[in-house]
Amino acid sequence: MCESGRSSEEDATEYVPPLEGELVEKWLEEDDLKIGKVRDELTKQQFLLDLLHSKISARHERGRATGELDEHAWQVQNSITLIKRRLKQLVETTPQIVSLRTTDTRCIEMYEEKQLMATQGMLREDISEERQRIARLCWRLRDITQLTSRSNQDEEKDETEEKAWEERCKLEEAARSALLEEITRLRSTCADLRARLEMESLNKENPNYNSV
């Protein structure tokens, strides 16, 4: 029993978290990099990016700031780009080995194809949700603009009402600026999602590319 327990512990692989942004570039410059390790790191970074996007969306729904998370997501996205570029180089310089176990290979290809289709569906849903959010924000921005225009035309109010309107205009302008920033961020997110969708489609069309 004791020997079996020790053997299980030795066989267990310790989990290694994804590399920090500043370490990714140095790691990719190593000469003895293996394709398998690069793919594993890419998977970890993509999972981390999805997790950060989920946290950012949750904070936006609660009206909380996301500055640090946005910056972290940007760093992870850059790391993913570098890893994909390096992986592509490794794949192109590695001789292709044809497996004799065609049945197993076909099963793996079918499994990866199903994963790809599921990922594409999720990306399309994300894009649709972001477009709806942008549309809602545009309508809110239009309402705020109309209120601001009406307040500028109201010159017959007494001094107290004028001060109140001035304060309200400042608040509305601040809200308008915030909405513009949010729209810009959401459009950037949509662009990123479209790029990811195109990358997944490219992977499906070119199996040898294999998620590069």
Q: Are residues 24 and 82 in the same domain?
A: yes
Residue 120 lies in a domain: no
Is residue 86 located within the same domain as residue 140? no
CB atoms within 10 A of CB 124: 13
146 and 209 share one domain: yes
The predicted pLDDT at position 80 comes to: 92
Range of the domain at 192: 133-212
| 154 and 88 fall within a common domain | no
Same domain for 138 and 87: no
pLDDT attached to residue 189:
79
pLDDT in tens, 3-53: 444 444 444 457 788 888 788 888 888 888 888 888 899 998 899 899 999
Let me know the angle formed at the C-alpha of 133 by 177 and 167, rounded to the nearest 5 degrees.
30
Does residue 72 lie within any of the structural domains?
yes
Do 143 and 88 lie in a common domain?
no
Based on the fold, state whether residues 140 and 89 are members of the same structural domain: no
Last residue of a domain, one of 93, 123, 155: 93
Total tally of structural domains belonging to the chain = 2
Whether residue 144 is found in the same domain as residue 89: no
Q: Which letter does DSSP use for residue 208 in this model?
A: G
Same-domain pairing of 143 and 89 = no
Domain assignment present for residue 49? The answer is yes
Q: How far is CA 66 from CA 167, 182, 185, in A?
A: 27, 11, 11
Same domain, 211 and 154: yes
59 backbone dihedrals φ, ψ, rounded to 5°: -70, -40
Q: What is the pTM of this model?
A: 0.41
Burial of residue 116 (number of CB atoms within 10 Å: 0-12, 13-18, 19+): middle
Residue 211, φ and ψ in degrees, nearest 5: 65, 20
**Token output for 160:** 């107290």
- Measured CA to CA, the distance from residue 172 to residue 168 in angstroms comes to 6
| CA-wise closest residue to 157 among 146, 173, 168 | 168
Q: Based on the domain organization, do 212 and 140 belong to the same domain?
A: yes
Last residue of a domain, one of 93, 116, 149: 93
In a domain, 59, yes or no: yes
Among residues 37, 65, 93, the one where a domain terminates is 93
- Residue 27 included in any domain: yes
- pLDDT < 50 stretches in the chain: 1-12, 98-100, 211-212
Question: Is 23 inside a domain boundary?
Answer: yes
H or E element at residue 47: helix 35-61
In a domain, 117, yes or no: no
Q: Are residues 138 and 203 in the same domain?
A: yes
Find all residues with CB under 8 Å of 176, minimum gap 6, and list them.
141, 144, 145, 148
Tell me if 166 is assigned to some domain.
Answer: yes
- Residue 154: the pLDDT is 58
